[in-house]
Amino acid sequence: MIIVIIGPSGSGKDTQAQLLVNKYNIPNISTGQIMRDEISAGTPLGNQINEYISKGKWLPDDLAVELLRERLSEPDCEKGFLLNGFPRTENQVGLLDELLHEEGKTLSVVVRFILDDEEVINRMVKQKEGEEIRPDMSESAIRGRLRSYNETIAPIVALYKQRGILLDIDAKPSIQEIHTTIMEQLAIRGCKPHA
């Protein structure tokens, strides 16, 4: 089973991702974590990634796919995985399709967490109350990222909706309520936890 999770920062997708990987006994593959690991290891690829990140730029698609290709070839991905943080663009949807095809795999479901912008901002600002606010966590920076997310996610959502694999989840209820809804919807789609 291969699950992709998409949603804005602050929507609870990371929390739900962890609950799902525990339930399904599959790895949680975060492109952000893969990039941080490469940078920490000081690999040539990590240095290349750091150049983009330090300039506030997105990683080029070919580099992002290469990172994923390496990670997906590891044995723990044989029974499936959860992918968090990819695809971020319409082009990456096609690249992910190609990569999965090379591995003889298909995408099972795309779980999209839906939360209005004001709620995202409230959650993210509230998380940081009492802390010194980093420039990238200011309300205006969060609004900018949300604008960018909303623009880039629309064509991705349309593609997955057209394929019939999009699962929209309201991200307002409690963590447990959301998890229960996701599990029920995945079961309806035939996605069962591994024994």
Tell me how many degrees the CA angle 152-142-83 measures, rounded to the nearest 5.
50
The share of the chain scoring above pLDDT 70, in percent, equals 93
For residue range 112-128, list pLDDT tens digits in order: 999 998 898 888 877 65
Whether residue 31 is annotated as binding a ligand: the answer is: yes
- To the question of whether residue 15 is assigned a binding role by annotation, the answer is no
pTM of the model: 0.87
If we measure between CA atoms, which residue out of 17, 4, 20 comes closest to residue 96? Answer: 4
Does the annotation place 86 within a ligand binding site? Answer: yes
Give the range of the structural domain holding residue 10, as residue numbers without chain letter: 2-28+80-188
Q: Is 87 annotated as contributing to ligand binding?
A: yes
Is 147 assigned to a binding site?
no
- Is 143 marked within a binding site? no
Residue 106 lies in a domain: yes
50 assigned to some structural domain: no
Q: Is the peptide bond before 87 cis (omega within 30 degrees of 0)?
A: yes
Which pLDDT tens digit goes with each residue over 119-178? 988 888 776 566 666 666 778 888 888 888 888 899 999 999 999 999 999 999 999 999
Residue 34: which H helix or E strand, with range? helix 31-41
Residue 141: C-alpha distances to residues 48, 134, 145, 148, 184 (Å): 25, 10, 6, 11, 36
Is 59 inside a domain boundary?
A: no
What 3-state DSSP class applies to 96?
A: helix
Residue 9 sits in a domain whose CATH number is 3.40.50.300
Q: Is 134 annotated as a binding residue?
A: yes
Tokens at 48, concatenated: 């290349």
Has 173 been labeled as part of a binding site?
yes
Residue 73 maps to a domain: no
First vs last C-alpha separation in the chain: 13
Burial 6-32 (b: 16+ CB within 10 A, else e): bbbebbbbbebbebbbeebebbbbbbe
Domains identified in the chain, total number: 1
Distance (Å, rounded) from C-alpha 159 to C-alpha 29? 22
In which band, very low, low, confident or very high, does the pLDDT at 195 lie, cut at 50, 70 and 90? low
Residue 104 counted as domain residue: yes
Is residue 92 in some structural domain? yes
